């Protein structure tokens, strides 16, 4: 689905509705008014003061691929070579230090008062343990991206560039380590959507997704715990063990 929220509060309300039913949604222009100063590709090319560890795919070393070679964000941006930076460390700190992106993307996934009341304060306690406060930044040239994978629910805000997303529901979600530039054509049986600069995409927990940058792209993402899922596990499944 596509929605056009006018404010951050509107966007958060839409995200809550779609999170409750576990359905993806693209929020057109929801981050267009955020302060993305310093996030464009030409600005990254000047950041030789920031360490970066580009890889073929995000977190590739976690899947047994060769460990990344350390470089600078500036050197990577000037000659990306099809690689990708997905970072919660030095690069994230440097970009989040400018503008207002971190607090605005993290604010979108804070539990509502209604949800908190419904689950007896459980979502609030999760956030007190820093769930939903793990914002990361990503940057990659055209053709780079992420292979098929899935994880907790997440929001992805694109500051600059354009990306194509491929989505599959949980029963058909898979993992892969093949970079999108090695694909032999577009994936089949997938929901396809184009994310443009200023758009926010919500991906529910367990939904498979793969991403290809159509242009050099820079943005922020944050994963957060599915409160209903964890509540169900604790209340109904743990007593059975």
Give me the pLDDT at residue 233, please: 44
Give me the pLDDT at residue 132, please: 44
Using a pLDDT cut of 90, give the percent of the chain over it. 45
Residue 126 reports pLDDT greater than 60:
no
Report pLDDT digits (tens) over 98-118. Answer: 989 998 998 887 655 565 566
Residue for token pair 């959507």: 193
Q: Are strands 208-213 and 51-52 parallel, antiparallel or unpaired?
A: unpaired
Confidence class of residue 74 from pLDDT cuts 50, 70 and 90? very high
Confidence class of residue 238 from pLDDT cuts 50, 70 and 90? very low
d(CA 221, CA 33): 17
Report pLDDT digits (tens) over 138-183. Answer: 999 999 999 999 888 889 999 999 999 999 998 898 888 888 888 8
Residue 124 reports pLDDT greater than 60:
no
* Mean per-residue pLDDT over the chain, rounded: 84
Residue 128 reports pLDDT greater than 60:
no
Give me the pLDDT at residue 237, please: 41
H helices of the chain, in order, are 8-21, 41-44, 73-78, 90-96, 101-108, 113-118, 122-128, 227-232
d(CA 135, CA 93): 10
Contact 235, 60 (CB under 8 A): no
Give me the pLDDT at residue 49, please: 95
């Amino acid at each position: 689905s596509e929605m056009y929220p006018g404010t951050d509060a509107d966007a958060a309300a839409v995200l809550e509705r779609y999170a409750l039913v576990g359905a993806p949604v693209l929020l057109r222009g929801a981050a267009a008014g955020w302060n993305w100063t310093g996030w464009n590709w030409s600005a990254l090319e000047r950041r030789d003061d920031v360490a970066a560890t580009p890889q073929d795919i995000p977190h590739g070393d976690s899947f047994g691929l060769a460990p990344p070679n350390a470089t600078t964000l500036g050197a990577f941006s000037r000659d990306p070579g099809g690689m990708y930076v997905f970072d919660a460390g030095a690069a994230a700190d440097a970009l989040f230090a400018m503008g207002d992106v971190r607090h605005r993307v993290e604010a979108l996934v804070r539990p509502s008062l209604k949800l908190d009341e419904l689950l007896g304060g459980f979502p609030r306690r999760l956030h007190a343990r820093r769930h939903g406060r793990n914002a990361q930044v990503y940057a990659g040239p055209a053709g780079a991206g992420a292979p098929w994978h899935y994880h907790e629910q997440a929001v992805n805000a694109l500051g600059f560039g354009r990306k194509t997303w491929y989505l599959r529901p949980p029963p058909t979600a898979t993992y892969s380590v093949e970079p999108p530039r090695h694909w032999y054509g577009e994936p089949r049986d997938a929901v396809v959507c184009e994310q443009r600069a200023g758009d926010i995409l919500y991906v529910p927990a367990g939904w498979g997704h793969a991403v290809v940058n159509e242009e050099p792209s820079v943005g922020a993402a944050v994963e957060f715990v599915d409160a209903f899922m964890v509540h169900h596990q604790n209340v109904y499944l743990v007593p059975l063990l």
